[in-house]
Amino acid sequence: DCCGATSPAAQEAALSRMVQAGAVRLTTIGALLEWQRDWAKREHYDALMGILKQQGGAYGVGVEYAYTMVHHAPQSAQKPQVVPKKVAGDGHGRGVTPVATPANR
């Protein structure tokens, strides 16, 4: 909002003045998505999604999910989660977690 308020009350007062002057309040993510306008145009899509993945909180997590699960892109996390493949007879197929024993450590 760029009002430079020194307290929550001052910020709310500044925002109220902006609304009275005709401003429309919306979130940063809402503004970014409006500026993208046409999702068929890929010119800025990946750059915008990169910003949202890093800075978009829960929305960014959803973007990451869509990239990895829908578009089959690699995870962009610093430490991607590694999901081990199922091995026949390891107990996971039946929903049972195997117990470590000296024989299988």
What 6-15 contacts at long range (C-beta under 8 Å, 24+ apart), as own/partner pairs, is none
Of 34, 47, 63, 21, which Cα lies nearest the Cα of 1?
21
Q: Where in the chain are the domains?
A: 1-26, 38-76
Using alpha carbons, list the distances in angstroms from residue 92 to 85, 89, 105: 10, 8, 17
- Rounded to whole angstroms, the Cα distance separating 64 from 66 reads 5
Reported as a single tens digit per residue, the pLDDT across 27-67 is: 888 888 888 877 777 788 888 888 888 888 888 888 888 88
Answer yes or no: pTM beyond 0.85.
Answer: no
